Amino acid sequence: MSELNSELEKIHLEIARLLGLSRENLIFEYQKEDEDKIVLKLITVNPRHKQSFLFHQESGFGEMDALHKMLDYVKTHKHSKDSYTIQWSLKDGKELHTSYFRGKNIYEVLDKFYYGKDITSTIIFSISLNPIS
CATH number for 26: 3.30.160
Domain boundary among 78, 107, 123: 78
Taking the C-alpha atoms of residue 14 and residue 40, their distance in angstroms, rounded to an integer, is 16
Domain of residue 33 covers: 1-78
Task: Indicate if 6 and 67 belong to the same structural domain.
Answer: yes
Task: Indicate if 53 and 10 belong to the same structural domain.
Answer: yes
**Quick check: pTM over 0.75?**
yes
Residues whose CB falls within 8 Å of the CB of residue 84, separated by 6 or more in sequence, listed in order = 100, 101, 102, 103, 106, 109, 127, 128, 129, 130
Task: Indicate if 58 and 31 belong to the same structural domain.
Answer: yes
Write the pLDDT tens digit of every residue in 76-127.
Answer: 877 788 999 999 999 988 899 999 999 999 999 999 999 999 999 999 999 9
Task: Indicate if 43 and 93 belong to the same structural domain.
Answer: no
